[in-house]
Structure 1
Amino acid sequence: MVTRNINNFNLLRLVAAYSVLYYHSFFLYLNAGKCVTFGDVSLGALAVYVFFSISGFLIFKSWIADPNVFRYLCRRLLRILPALFIVVVLSLVVLGPLVGTLSVVDYYKDAETWTYLKNVLLYPVYHLPGVFASNHYPSAVNGSLWSLPVEFFMYLILILIGVVFRQKLKWGLVFALCIFVFAYFFSVDTSGVFIFYGVDLKQIAPNGIFFIIGAIIAAFKLEKSLTLPGSFFILALLMFTSHGVLFQVLTWIAIPYLSLAFALQSSWLSVKIKDMGDYSYGVYIYAFPVQQTTVYFFPGLPFFSHVIIDILITTFLAVVSWHFIEKNALKYKPLSNHPL
């Protein structure tokens, strides 16, 4: 096990962010083929589950270190909103007129243009009028933003558990897990889409389960039990149950276990990544519009040429976002004894 300051969290988040980029490539590019899956879990879903598992673990530790609702929310909002505000405004002001079918005047007159700003309030809006209308995956500006309100909802759930259960947080988390598991199986058997605040409510349970299990690992201090032999055992179980209910239940255990078992170790690369900064959020929120833009201007590029170009451009924007926006915003976090 390692010290809290030298670990693989930044590295794993970065790998997950690039995995989402790669997964989206199979939908956004022409003649991309079929993306790799792991049983019933797609690469994109796996990456998001890793994000939620890590988030549940770390955010719970942050709450325990300073269970003050105001300071807790300030820290979470300062991590999410500044960079999100920039990518939303750049998409609206720069990207929209550049790659849209409307004239600049008509674009800015269109009321739909300005509804895109709802994204700053974590209300997902995916379209700008006329933008990417002729792309292979038409009209979607930033398909990655759906997960942000789900993530923030889990932050609020953690507050609720913390306030209601207080000294019995562990069992509050277990109770919440039971509710989310019930909601998951209920939603699987329910047809239709249920939208609230721009979010498909069916997305909350399958992602929230990983957040809660990550928090449970932290609450019960189970990270000390995350071993390499245990990782191999869990992988072996997954190999023999690649589909169905048993596989789904095993992923709830396996993904948080494997993610945190790796994240809590250190390596020479983790030290280098930590010294550079946490670029994963920037990669996550910039990748989709970058991919759509390269498809717009270079629709005939080979698949892997697209991927490489998009990784380079997205990484550049993520680096700029971290050093000029995100890192500076985090300086305003309320003081506490916890580094998150």
Structure 2
Amino acid sequence: MRLVLAVLVILAHAPTIAIGEKAGQDFFEHPLALPLKFVLPAFFTLSGFLVAGSMQRCRTLLSFLGLRFLRIYPALIVEVTLSALLIGPLVTEISLREYFSSPVFFRYLLNVTGHISYYLPGVFLSNPKPAMVNWQLWTVPWELICYIAITLMILVGVKKHRHRAIVATAIIFLIALIKQIRSPEGLSVLHGHAWGHVLVVYFASGVLAYLYKERLPYNAKLFFVSALSALIAFGLLPAGQLLGIPPLVYCVIYLGVCNPRQMLPASVVDCSYGMYLYGYVLQQLIALEAPWSRTILWNFVIAVGLSLVVGLASWHLVERPALNLRGHLRSLEDWWLNTSKLAAAPD
């Protein structure tokens, strides 16, 4: 499922990158493109579900946060570095001296901290979607907020008392609802593009679904009813992203739990994060270097192929080696637990 979602993100970006902003808006609002509005909410739901599994397996908060760091940051740091130090200098329209001395360049490097900047000096200025290097990174701060949220859940004891996750998810939902009501746009826009604070609700809902996964009914009829309900909510109703949370979360969990057969090698599925990280900048490169490919189909097809290759490289060269450091985390965790036991032991 992660691989499918990563491919759909590339498809969602293709019209804007290949043709321009207006084409992207028209494409996204077309009825046939409605399922694309599910992509980021589904990504965050699935992330919450999988991260909750990691939470339950980890004995301490230290190891849990360490694993989250190893899973997210090494690949992100490499992607930001390659964009800034390799791709940018190769395609910039200004001199290298100007490029490397520009405040825009240094601001871009801060992407690794969650302070997001989408631009590099002189890069992609003549593209149909000018100047934008890595638009997909807008979700990174919201992912960090999700990790803060689940850390707070752990601290209030959801691992042993899962009913507390219901309260936590309800609080997160209310915060998102109030934030949206108080925004200038109000609730009416929530049937359109994904909003970050709503994605946090989907993440928390994924965590909750994992904690109660054995209590959920899994049947095809309920799945199809939920899918139809999500389509109606996202496509027709004000506040559709909020109203669509229960049906869409159920659909994601149903597909994840009831479709365990993996048709592709694990390494191909694991490259989905790399595809997500590199997809946008590769699409911009395609639009720049191959003007003949400035159609939705060609940009999408070429970008999927290239991002799959780069995603595999990211998995084998960066992500998997980083995850292999888990043994050091376990050793540190063992030391921490043993030290705590000794400190708690009576004299």
Is TM > 0.5 for Structure 1 vs Structure 2? yes
Do 1:24 and 1:44's aligned partners in 2 also have CA atoms closer than 8 Å?
no
The aligned amino acid for 1:185 is L
Alignment of 1:249-268 (within 5 A): 249-266=242-259, 268=261
* Greater mean deviation of Cα atoms: 244-253 or 255-264: 244-253
CA contact (8 A) 1:150 1:203 kept: no
SS across alignment from 1:125: coil
Q: Distance in 2 between matches of 1:126 and 1:75?
A: 27
1:309 paired with 2:302, answer yes
Give the alignment of 1:124-273 within 5 angstroms.
Answer: 124-165=116-157, 169-191=161-183, 203-222=195-214, 224-238=216-230, 241=233, 242-245=235-238, 247-266=240-259, 268=261, 270-273=262-265
Look up the match of 1:322: 315
More displaced stretch, 135-144 vs 22-31: 22-31
How many corresponding residue pairs? Answer: 316
In the alignment, residue 150 of structure 2 is paired with which amino acid? L
**Unaligned runs of at least 5 residues, structure 1:** 1-11, 194-201
- Look up the equivalent residue of 1:164 and give its one-letter code: V
Per the alignment, residue 330 of structure 2 pairs with: 335
Q: Distance in 2 between matches of 1:295 and 1:24?
A: 12
Is the contact made by 2:267 and 2:312 (CA closer than 8 Å) also made in structure 1? Answer: no
Cα distance, 1:323 vs. partner? 0.9
Name the counterpart of 1:17: 6
- Segment drifting more, 83-92 vs 40-49: 40-49
Please tell me the residue identity of whatever aligns with 2:317.
F
**1:279 equivalenced with 2:271 (yes/no):** yes
Q: 8 Å contact 1:223–1:260 — kept in the other structure?
A: no
Q: What is the identity, as a one-letter code, of the residue corresponding to 2:217? A: S
Q: Which has the larger Rg?
A: 2
CA shift for structure 1 position 23:
0.1
In structure 2, C-alpha distance between the alignment counterparts of 1:44 and 1:236, rounded to whole Å? 14
Partners of 2:71 and 2:314 lie apart in 1 by 12
How far did 1:164 drift? 2.2
Q: Which amino acid aligns with 1:132?
A: F
Determine whether 1:50 maps to 2:42: yes
Matched residue, 1:123: 115
Corresponding position: 1:84 with 2:80: no
Shift of 1:171: 3.1
User: Per-residue deviation at 1:38?
Assistant: 8.6
State which of 285, 291, 295 in structure 2 corresponds to 1:293: 285
Cα gap change, 1:179 to 1:38, in 2 (>3 Å): farther
Deviation at 1:150, TM superposition (A): 0.9
**Counterpart contact for 1:14–1:280, Cα < 8 Å:** yes
How far residue 104 of structure 1 moved from its aligned partner, in angstroms, is 1.0
C-alpha distance in 2 between matches for 1:118 and 1:43: 33
Distance of 1:101 and 1:155 partners within structure 2 = 38
Out of 110, 123, 133, the residue aligned to residue 102 of structure 2 is: 110
Native 8 Å contact 2:209 2:253 kept in 1: no
Kindly indicate whether structure 1 or structure 2 has the higher relative contact order, using CA contacts under 8 Å at least 6 residues apart: 1
Structure 2 runs not aligned, ≥5 long: 186-193, 332-347
Greater helix content: 2
The answer (yes or no) to whether the contact 1:40–1:243 under 8 Å persists in 2 is: no
Change (3 A) 1:318 1:229: same
- Give the corresponding residue for 2:338: none
Q: Aligned Cα RMSD in Å?
A: 2.6
Distance 1:99 1:211 in 2: 37
**CA contact 1:78–1:329 (8 Å) conserved in 2:** yes
Separation (CA, whole Å) in 1 of partners of 2:30 and 2:2: 19
Instruction: Quote how far apart the aligned CAs of 1:127 are.
Output: 0.8
Tell me which moved more, 141-150 or 39-48.
39-48
